[in-house]
Structure 1
Amino acid sequence: MENLSILINKSKEEIEEDEVGDKMTVFEEYFYLVNGLIGTFLNLIVLLIAYLNVNINDKPRQIIVINMTLADLLTCTIYIITRSYVSIFPQFLCYPYYVLIVTSQLCSCLNLLCKRRVIWVMIGSWALIFGFVIFLYWFMEIKVIK
């Protein structure tokens, strides 16, 4: 968030190259971009296969796999692809950005533990964790550097 504050409070001439971003190498930037795109593509394929071929009435445990795949798809799409560019995002996007990242990852982990009443647990876990992350985010501070 400090990097974002620097961008907001300084003109383009005042921003020095070493103040912006996570100081990633070119390799790291491409690493995140390529792996994010591959992860997005593969998770989309898994969701398409599940949508077309899986009967969740016969195999309700498949809902857990589908839910985890959706969480991974959101993480690849929202976080991994944009990881190198988060320092140039407008400040108002930071809240939904981090809420979605934390929510999707916690839901993915929680669903590994669930086996009964899978649909209700899935819906409840996403709603509960999403609400929890929104609540916690209100206590975070954005430090403005002048």
Structure 2
Amino acid sequence: MAKVEIHHDFRQAFESIAEQFPEFENRLIADFTRFVDSDRMEYPDYFGRDSIYNWPHEAQREALSHIHIALPPRAFQAGSALQYRTNPRNPEQDACLVYCEHAVIKGRFLLLDFFYPGAHKKAQEERRMRYLAKQAAKFHDDW
């Protein structure tokens, strides 16, 4: 079973969402664990595209990844493929979970941040992305 750890930046970023949807954080963590345990084959209707960041270079090098998330009570269209489940044109609905898998210990994950609202815009903030890549590097070095 996957081991999912929570970075303090994730908790901080998730505070406003937790106020609106008190049980959502636990549900998200449980569903993420199930998702990675199933080799990314089983996912809830509120999970969207799962992909690695390719910019900046440090983020790609540290395998910084993200999953698009539809916040409650929304869900992505039933039957739609994960790759089409995003909200780039609707910043108020645009959310994603930022995470990485340990470079050496497979099945060990770190939830780093939660981009909302305007996840696509936040992912273009170079300083923020470099910081998250640095946090991922520290996680990879911890073994």
TM-score normalised to structure 2 length: 0.31
Rg larger for: 1
TM-score normalised to structure 1 length: 0.31
- Would you tell me which structure has more strand in proportion to its own residues? 2
